[in-house]
Structure 1
Amino acid sequence: MEFQAPNTLAEQIANYLADRLMTGDIKPGERLQEATIAVELEVSRASVKEAFYTLERWHLVDITPRKGATASLLDADHAAELYDVYMHLLIMLARRLCERWQEKDRERLMDVIHKATSRLNADAPNISAVVQASFDVMDACCAVVANPYLTEALTNFKPAVSRTYYFCADRYRQDLDRTGMFFSRLTQAVLARDPEAAERQIEGFADHQKSLILQALARDVTVSSAESE
């Protein structure tokens, strides 16, 4: 496999592995063999190791001294903690957005939200496209708020949150109307500069998303138990 600029080699390796981790091709708890990956991708082990550190920052792998990297676990406790922290970061973003958006930002924000809701309302919505559109909205809000620390924190959570969307894709696909309603109500709160209303929308939506992933995890445990009998 050949990798091209603009990203560094390690970043491209990290993105490639992140896709496999997010879509479940690499299972939670599975060990990532540094030497095997280096041979598969025809790259140096040093580049793979650097990519592992990026994946660790994205909360997709855990690195243990002398044991290497393993795909981070996806269970009820980890999912609950992930969404709790992510929710509070989104609330901080929404509150700052209520304070800082200006009239010149309105058109840009409405455009990216319109694109997201269009993908949500498609006859056969593509989960990858919908997830990307949702993050496009977040990125546009980050650009308006212009807090580099908050932007970095939210960016590092994207892959881990994406993995939960892929894991419960069927439930998420059936629930896109609720997602569209969330975008609509959150937009109204932000344009009205009502941070309390924005916070309520994010809390409600995050709790609902967390329930979807927990349902999917519970089903996965049940299926696994049945297959092992």
Structure 2
Amino acid sequence: MEFQVPNTLAEQIANYLADRIMTGQIRPGERIQEAPLAAQLNVSRASVKEALYTLERWHLVAITPRKGAAATHLDAEHAAELYDVYMHLLLMLATRLCERWREADRPGLLAAVARATERMARPDADIAAVVAASFEVMDACCQVVANPYLTEALANFKPAVSRAYYLSADTYRQGLEQTRRFFQQLPDAVLARDAEQARHLIRRFAEHQKALIRRALASGASVAS
């Protein structure tokens, strides 16, 4: 990702650093020093500091008094704990979605799911594209539910969850068929307003995903140690 000065400078710096952390270019535990980074990007230290606070909210950076910022660690145990919290947010989203969707929402929801499953079905599926399409489904659901607090909480988890997927890409790719089946089955439960079935599908899927990620990171796919 090439850095370009945008209208919202701090957010663009955060996105630039997030990309480097998610793809392992900035290693877990590696310090991110404000002054050298500001000089490298030709921006102010204040903008870098604001970006680091955003990354902390995204669970990609830990800021320690007198030590500064460093990329958070991501080993198998950290990934499992991350995914547990993320799963509970998804359960809440599914419950509200079953309650609140209207007939006018059906085409948009199904279109987002169709795009995601089409990408997953490709023999040479690109993990970044699959993850992005999966989040598009989540975003479409958030628009229907219209709970700003839940939407913000889920958005803050996107970078950290993406990072877990990227660092375990080979193992994650092996589970794409099950992921595709999940995305095909979930709309049926939602459109039937069957919240119990929707939560069951999410729990089963999340536990499968968590196991894949833990196995990949425990076997050395992570650069966390």
Regarding TM over 0.5, the answer is yes
| TM-score range normalised by the length of the shorter chain | over 0.9
Secondary structure, aligned partner of 1:63? strand
Q: CA deviation at 1:33?
A: 1.3
CA–CA separation in structure 2 for the residues paired with 1:121 and 1:129: 12
> Structure 2 matches for 1:99-114, cutoff 5 A?
99-114=99-114
**Residue of structure 2 equivalent to 1:162:** 162
Cα pair 2:28 2:224 within 8 Å, conserved: no
**Residue of structure 2 equivalent to 1:212:** 212
Q: CA deviation at 1:152?
A: 0.3
Cα pair 2:168 2:222 within 8 Å, conserved: no
Report % sequence identity: 67
Which consecutive unaligned segments of at least 5 residues does structure 2 have? Answer: none
CA–CA separation in structure 1 for the residues paired with 2:32 and 2:209: 29
**Residue of structure 2 equivalent to 1:86:** 86
Q: CA deviation at 1:224?
A: 9.8
**RMSD, aligned α-carbons:** 1.7
Q: Which amino acid aligns with 2:6?
A: Q
Query: Which consecutive segments of 4 or more residues in structure 1 shift more than 4 A?
Result: 221-225
Which consecutive unaligned segments of at least 5 residues does structure 1 have? Answer: none
Query: 1:114-164, CA deviations, whole angstroms, 9 ceiling, x for partnerless residues?
Result: 011111112311111110000000000000000000000000000000000
Give the length in aligned residue pairs. Answer: 223
Q: Which amino acid aligns with 1:180?
A: R
Match 2:6 to one of 4, 18, 37: 4
Q: Which amino acid aligns with 1:122?
A: R
CA–CA separation in structure 2 for the residues paired with 1:70 and 1:49: 12
Q: CA deviation at 1:216?
A: 1.2
Secondary structure, aligned partner of 1:69? strand
TM-score, normalised on structure 2? 0.95
Q: Which amino acid aligns with 2:48?
A: V
Relative contact order, higher structure (CA 8 A, sep 6+): 2
Of the structure 1 ranges 142-151 and 34-43, higher mean CA displacement relative to structure 2 is found in 34-43
**Residue of structure 2 equivalent to 1:136:** 136
Secondary structure, aligned partner of 2:6? coil
Secondary structure, aligned partner of 1:193? coil
Secondary structure, aligned partner of 1:43? coil
